[in-house]
């Protein structure tokens, strides 16, 4: 009779945002309150090197980060004051359709009345009078005006409009580390891994490090970055390139100070399409993170560098452009063929990486860590079942991410470079996306287009991108009862959204005003 091996010792290889966020999410579920039944037996150990730096480009989060941090037990005031954080209400796109002054938003708040009414169908009747996001979401106006999503009297993590964060990735990792070690009983070992030991079944049994005894465990989480020391190098799980669909594999990144301490802090990630890629512009309280994403197969690095400096010169100042330092980041777009193999699961760049167009990196870490925390195998006998569920779900999620990001390019009418012309070639479009877009020529995206309750991109996100870039869904004659019901309620919903927009624009402080008050007074705890 075989003895059941319980899963009590979790070892995380790698720190940074991915490693420490994973540690926090799992520890908050399994390791707090050591006197509680079952919790005292679970230990989490994080091993990180002092000589390997993290990539640290992921400075944007999704709204899900609010509930994640609240569950972990981190104060929102601490996040704002210790991580140089600000509020992000979505993404503001410039120049993606034609490059000739066009702009649109992807707000985090879903369209007004979204649960019951598809306003996209009704908006088509006056699409030439008002942009889609403005018609259906109050957040659109807040984003264009750099206004905040809440007031100083709004408690921590509560909101008037849905929001995520812009933050300093290095400071965020440090805050997570301090909290995990001091409050969540996570063991921290600073050492280099020099070998991996496995048992007779092929499972990893321990990590051989250069500082102490071997680090033994039952489940090993690979957060070692793109090297994927455990899943990739040790187990040899292959990497699946997605460069056929998304060409970008490089970025030039810079950190640029404001011209004045009173300069506005953008309340959205600004994504500006360029001839050879696109520029991200993220506003923190003390600086802006600005970078240019591009494809090395289409662009010369010097040419992209000039484009980045011109952007900084135009949007900040010539002096800032002359003083900025630029570093290059190279990455391979794609993911591992599977993410959980035997008793090893990869999270973060160990699992995969894709261009930061919609800031999907950190939310994938959140989702991965949450699934491990919620479905942590009771023993080794059921681990393979959980692993299959995990792999199926995250392969699906990666496919949906690629579809969603690729759609931004497919909808563009830019023809000013091979980069943009190649982006709309039929062979570069996933079949799953082509199928959806053909369907959406006849009916607007809606709840029926999502297969899971916890979809990364709900139908509302597809609506914002499609109609922000002037995609045409053919109007059909109302011939169903639901069509007449929607028409009857749509006018009221549009009017209510317009009224709500006026109230919010009048009431909300600017992003900088709110950040300054939080740094002085803090936010009220719930």
What is the full DSSP assignment across 299-345? --HHHHHHHHHHHHHHHT-HHHHHH---EEEE---EEES-SEETTEE
Q: 341 and 232 in contact (C-beta within 8 Å)?
A: no
Q: What pLDDT, on a 0 to 100 scale, did the predictor assign at position 1?
A: 38
pLDDT at 482: 61
Sign of CA dihedral 13, 15, 18, 24: positive
pLDDT at 233 over 80: yes
Query: Distance (Å, rounded) from C-alpha 435 to C-alpha 450?
Result: 14
Domain ranges of the chain: 9-59+168-243+333-398, 250-330
Share of the chain residues as helix, strand and coil, in percent rounded to the nearest 5: 40, 20, 40
Which pLDDT does position 419 carry in this prediction?
A: 98
408-447, pLDDT tens digit by residue? 999 999 999 999 999 999 999 999 999 999 999 999 999 9
Return the CATH number of the domain spanning residue range 9-59+168-243+333-398.
3.50.50.60
Question: What letter would DSSP give residue 288?
Answer: E
Look-up of token digits 């489940």: 219
Helices H / strands E in the chain, number of each: 16, 21
Q: Count of CB atoms within 10 A of residue 323's CB?
A: 11
pLDDT in tens, 77-119: 999 999 999 999 999 999 999 999 999 999 999 999 999 999 9
Q: Which residues pair with 220 in a beta bridge?
A: 11, 344
Q: What is the DSSP letter of 90?
A: E
State yes or no: pLDDT of 3 exceeds 60. Answer: no
Mean pLDDT of the chain: 94
Instruction: Give percent above pLDDT 70 in the chain.
Output: 94
CA distance 257 to 263: 10
Confidence of residue 451 (pLDDT cuts 50, 70, 90): confident
Predicted confidence at residue 34, as pLDDT, reads 46
Kindly indicate the confidence band of residue 50, based on its pLDDT and cuts at 50, 70 and 90: confident
Q: Which of 362, 449, 163, 313 is nearest to 351 (CA)?
A: 362
Could you tell me if 147 and 105 are in contact, meaning their C-beta atoms sit under 8 angstroms apart? no
Which residue do the tokens 């079944």 mark?
A: 201
Q: What is the pLDDT of residues 116-163, one digit of tens each?
A: 999 999 999 889 999 999 999 999 999 999 999 999 999 999 999 999
Dihedral sign, CA of 144, 511, 106, 482? negative
Pick from 250, 257, 141, 189: nearest CA to 506 = 141
Q: What is the pLDDT of residue 51?
A: 82
Q: What is the pLDDT of residue 480?
A: 65
Mean pLDDT computed over 442-466: 92
């Amino acid at each position: 009779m075989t003895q059941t091996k319980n899963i009590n010792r979790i070892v995380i290889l790698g720190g940074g945002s991915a490693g420490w966020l994973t540690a926090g999410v799992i520890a908050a579920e399994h390791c707090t309150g050591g006197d509680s039944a079952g919790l005292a037996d679970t230990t989490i150990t994080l091993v990180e090197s002092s000589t390997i730096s993290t990539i640290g480009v992921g400075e944007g989060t999704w709204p899900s980060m609010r509930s994640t941090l609240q569950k972990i037990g981190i104060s929102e005031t601490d996040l704002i004051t210790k991580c140089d954080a600000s509020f992000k209400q979505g993404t503001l796109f410039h120049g993606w359709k034609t490059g000739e002054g066009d702009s649109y938003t992807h707000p985090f708040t879903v369209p007004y009345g979204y649960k019951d009414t598809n306003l996209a169908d009704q908006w088509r009747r006056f699409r030439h009078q008002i942009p889609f996001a403005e018609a259906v979401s109050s957040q659109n106006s807040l984003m264009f005006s750099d206004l905040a999503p809440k007031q100083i009297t709004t408690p921590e993590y509560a909101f008037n409009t849905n929001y995520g964060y812009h933050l300093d990735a290095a400071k965020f990792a440090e805050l997570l580390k301090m909290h995990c070690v001091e409050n969540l009983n996570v063991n921290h070992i600073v050492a280099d891994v020099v070998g991996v030991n496995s048992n007779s079944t092929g499972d990893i049994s321990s990590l051989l490090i250069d500082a102490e005894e071997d680090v033994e465990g039952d489940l090993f989480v690979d957060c070692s970055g793109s090297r994927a020391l455990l899943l990739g190098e040790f187990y040899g799980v292959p990497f699946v390139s997605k460069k056929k669909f998304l060409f970008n594999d490089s970025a030039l990144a810079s950190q640029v100070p404001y011209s004045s301490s009173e300069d506005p802090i953008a309340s959205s990630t600004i994504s500006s399409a360029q001839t050879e890629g696109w520029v991200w512009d993220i506003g923190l309280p003390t600086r802006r993170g600005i970078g240019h994403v591009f494809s090395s197969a289409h662009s010369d690095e010097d040419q992209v560098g000039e484009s980045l400096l011109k952007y900084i010169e135009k949007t900040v100042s010539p002096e800032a452009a002359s003083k900025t330092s630029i570093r290059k980041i190279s990455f391979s777009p794609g993911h591992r063929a599977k993410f959980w193999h035997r008793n090893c699961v990869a999270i973060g760049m160990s699992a995969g990486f894709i261009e930061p167009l919609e800031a999907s990196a950190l939310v994938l870490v959140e989702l991965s860590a949450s699934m491990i925390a919620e479905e942590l195998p009771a023993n080794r006998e059921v681990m393979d079942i959980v692993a299959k569920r995990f792999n199926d779900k995250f392969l699906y999620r990666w496919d949906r991410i690629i579809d969603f990001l690729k759609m931004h390019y497919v909808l563009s009418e830019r023809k000013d470079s091979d980069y943009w012309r190649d982006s709309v070639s039929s062979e570069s479009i996933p079949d799953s996306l082509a199928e959806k877009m053909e369907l959406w020529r006849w009916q607007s995206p809606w709840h029926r287009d999502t297969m899971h309750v916890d979809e990364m991109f709900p139908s509302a996100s597809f609506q914002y991108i499609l109609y922000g870039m002037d995609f045409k869904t053919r109007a059909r004659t109302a011939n169903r009862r639901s069509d007449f019901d929607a028409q009857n309620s749509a006018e009221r919903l549009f009017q209510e959204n317009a009224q709500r927009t006026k109230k919010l624009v009048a009431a909300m402080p600017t992003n900088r005003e709110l950040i300054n008050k939080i740094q002085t007074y803090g936010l009220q705890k719930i």
